[in-house]
Amino acid sequence: MKIMSLLWTKSFLFLLSIPCLCSSQPLPPPLRFSAFLDHSNMIFLRWDHDAEEMMTFELRVHTTGWVAFGFSPHGELPGSDIVVGGVFPNGSIYFSSYQFPNEAAISIGTPMDPQYIRLEIHYSNFDLIPGLNDNSGIRLYYTPDLRPNDMGVLQTGVFTFPVHFIPPGADTYKSYGLCKSSQFNEMNGTPVPDLKVFGFLLHTHLAGRGLKVVQYRNGEQVRIICEDNKYDFSLQETRDLKEVITIKVGDEILVECNFQTLDRTEITFGGPSTLNEMCLAFLFYYPRNNISSCMGYPDIQQIAYALGQEASDAMEGMIAMNYVEWNNETIKNAEKAAKEADQIVMIKTIDELQKNESGIIRDITISESGLCHDISGHLGVRGSQVTANLQGAAAVISQALSTAEILPLPLLLLTQLAFTWLLTSSQCRI
């Protein structure tokens, strides 16, 4: 076993440990072991372990970009387990890691698998800063040593176009997208095994402030699968669930997105542009089936009628939204009407077969025991596959700031986001 460190961020310190991020914790005991990892004494590592074989690491690096730290059986990047952290120019911090579970991986080479791969990167330069260059990319590794299951990605949320809209001037506005899985067996062609969901990616654009993904069975709420109440468009990544959860055929999945448009004077419609909006949740699961997406949208005609507008079809309903005089009252009326309207649920397979059904939006129950449930500060770091058994919480402390200040843990890794889009683009279209 070799420890591997990759370099580049302003000098900073990070600790890997397992405190609950939403409660005060005593300072950790001093770490007993230490070593410089390079001949120039620029990379200083301290570590220790306890009676339960939990290992804690402290890494100090003098550098000018991001820092990656991980384990490798041979001291090289392929096959290593890595966490990555850095400091943005504005002082905000990201810290991130992700790996698939031992039970599943992405399949290639079969008729069900992608026949080609396309990397698509969206750029936004609203300040028109000149001279920007980008060398983003991804590196793929594959192995003939197969894991027990092929993994799949299920796209859920609000069907983006043409009926998703958010009123202007809203301090808060919720959209809902429903997935009903009762027809999964028929569309799959064979019975669909239980979906073992282990990870997720939440996605809105600039107006998004929070997302929830909720599971129902037989009309009753089972759990909030995941949520992020401090969503940031610039800090997106695939994250682990705290434990693998099971979705059965017949269950319903509801995605709730909370938007804020106080800075906008025109209605925001769903679409691919950064200034448009989306409300999506990608669920990573195994074993894979043929269903690629299951998304819902409200009957826009019902919303138009509730707002005093006339509409003979969905297109007229969307046009009618432009004639509404938006204020706090009409915003709340629109939100209420969208939640109470019939939901049209669209289910698609990987070969583009489609079937629609209808459903309703159920209430979401927030458990008081979920005080630590907000995963906006939870890092998707699965227990390491190596003996060291790293576990998934982290505190990042910038040396440029006061060491007494407790910092938030926003998350970003561009290559992970690109990798997630790579996965989903082979199964569905956004």
Domain at 332, CATH number? 2.60.120.230
Those residues whose C-beta lies under 8 Å from the C-beta of residue 44, and which sit 6 or more positions away, are: 34, 35, 36, 37, 59, 60, 61
273-295: per-residue pLDDT in tens? 888 999 999 999 999 999 999 99
Confidence band (pLDDT; 50, 70, 90) for 80? low
Q: Is the pLDDT of residue 72 over 80?
A: no
Confidence band (pLDDT; 50, 70, 90) for 156? very high
418-427: per-residue pLDDT in tens? 333 434 444 4
Element (H, E) at 313: none
**CB contact at 8 A, 339 and 333:** no
Instruction: Specify if 126 maps to a domain.
Output: no
Q: Based on the fold, state whether residues 349 and 393 are members of the same structural domain.
A: no
Instruction: Specify if 408 maps to a domain.
Output: no
Task: Name the CA dihedral angle for 348, 351, 353, 357, rounded to a multiple of 10 degrees.
Answer: -10
pLDDT of residue 97: 60
Q: Which residue has the tokens 């005991």?
A: 29
Which stretch, 9-18, 88-97, 133-142, 299-308, has highest mean pLDDT?
Answer: 299-308
* 64: Cα separation from own chain's centroid: 28
Q: What is the torsional sign of CA 228, 222, 238, 243?
A: positive
Instruction: Specify if 106 maps to a domain.
Output: no
Those residues whose C-beta lies under 8 Å from the C-beta of residue 361, and which sit 6 or more positions away, are: 176, 178, 254, 339, 340, 343
pLDDT of residue 138: 74
φ, ψ for residue 270, nearest 5 deg: -70, 145
Mean pLDDT throughout 174-180?
97
**Burial (CB count <10 Å: 0-12, 13-18, 19+), residue 162:** middle
Q: Based on the fold, state whether residues 328 and 193 are members of the same structural domain.
A: yes
Q: Based on the fold, state whether residues 180 and 77 are members of the same structural domain.
A: no
Mean pLDDT throughout 167-190?
96
Would you call 268 helix, strand, or coil by DSSP? strand
**413 vs 51: which has the higher pLDDT:** 51
Q: Based on the fold, state whether residues 74 and 154 are members of the same structural domain.
A: no
**Cβ atoms within 10 Å, residue 239:** 25
Range of the domain at 58: 2-97+379-399
Instruction: Specify if 223 maps to a domain.
Output: yes
- Which of 54-63, 97-106, 138-147, 395-404 shows the lowest mean pLDDT across its residues? 395-404
Among 281, 289, 110, 113, CA closest to 187? 289
Instruction: Specify if 268 maps to a domain.
Output: yes
What distance in Å separates the CA atoms of residue 123 and residue 47, rounded to the nearest whole number? 40
Q: Based on the fold, state whether residues 59 and 203 are members of the same structural domain.
A: no
Here the contacts of 419-423 (C-beta below 8 Å, separation 24 or greater) are: 419/138, 419/238, 420/201, 420/237, 420/238, 420/282, 421/119, 421/120, 422/117, 422/119, 422/138, 423/106, 423/153, 423/282, 423/284
pLDDT of residue 235: 75
Q: Which of 351, 369, 387 is the last residue of a domain?
A: 369
Q: Is the pLDDT of residue 369 over 60?
A: no
Q: Based on the fold, state whether residues 394 and 293 are members of the same structural domain.
A: no
What distance in Å separates the CA atoms of residue 236 and residue 412, rounded to the nearest whole number? 6
299-354: per-residue pLDDT in tens? 999 999 999 999 999 889 999 999 999 999 999 999 999 999 999 999 999 888 99
**CB contact at 8 A, 251 and 224:** no
* Per-chain mean pLDDT for the chain: 78
Instruction: Specify if 140 maps to a domain.
Output: no
pLDDT of residue 56: 84
Confidence band (pLDDT; 50, 70, 90) for 1? very low
pLDDT of residue 388: 30
Among 195, 190, 186, 203, CA closest to 222? 195
Confidence band (pLDDT; 50, 70, 90) for 407? very low
Among 350, 201, 175, 346, CA closest to 276? 175
Instruction: Specify if 413 maps to a domain.
Output: no
Q: Which residue has the tokens 């310190």?
A: 13
Task: Name the CA dihedral angle for 229, 233, 237, 241, rounded to a multiple of 10 degrees.
Answer: 20
Among 129, 13, 151, CA closest to 69? 13
Q: Which residue has the tokens 């077969």?
A: 353
Confidence band (pLDDT; 50, 70, 90) for 176? very high
The one-letter code for the residue type at 430 is I
Secondary structure (DSSP) of 6-70: E--SSSEEEEEE---TTS--PPPPPP-EEEESSTTS-EEEEEEE-TT--EEEEEEE--SS-EEEE
Q: Based on the fold, state whether residues 164 and 313 are members of the same structural domain.
A: yes
Q: Which of 318, 348, 369 is the last residue of a domain?
A: 369
Q: Is the pLDDT of residue 370 over 50?
A: no
Whole-model pTM: value is 0.69
Instruction: Specify if 37 maps to a domain.
Output: yes
Bridge partners, 326 (sequence order): none
Q: Based on the fold, state whether residues 179 and 316 are members of the same structural domain.
A: yes
Q: Based on the fold, state whether residues 393 and 341 are members of the same structural domain.
A: no
Q: Based on the fold, state whether residues 390 and 353 are members of the same structural domain.
A: no
Q: Length of the chain in residues, anyone?
A: 430
Q: Based on the fold, state whether residues 357 and 384 are members of the same structural domain.
A: no
Secondary structure (DSSP) of 187-234: HHSSPPPPEEEEEEEEE--TTEEEEEEEEEETTEEEEEEEEETT--TT
pLDDT of residue 423: 41
Confidence band (pLDDT; 50, 70, 90) for 408? very low
**375 vs 337: which has the higher pLDDT:** 337
Those residues whose C-beta lies under 8 Å from the C-beta of residue 328, and which sit 6 or more positions away, are: none
pLDDT of residue 280: 97
What distance in Å separates the CA atoms of residue 408 and residue 95, rounded to the nearest whole number? 10
Q: Based on the fold, state whether residues 312 and 383 are members of the same structural domain.
A: no
**Cβ atoms within 10 Å, residue 323:** 11
**132 vs 12: which has the higher pLDDT:** 132
Count up the domains in the chain and report the number. 2
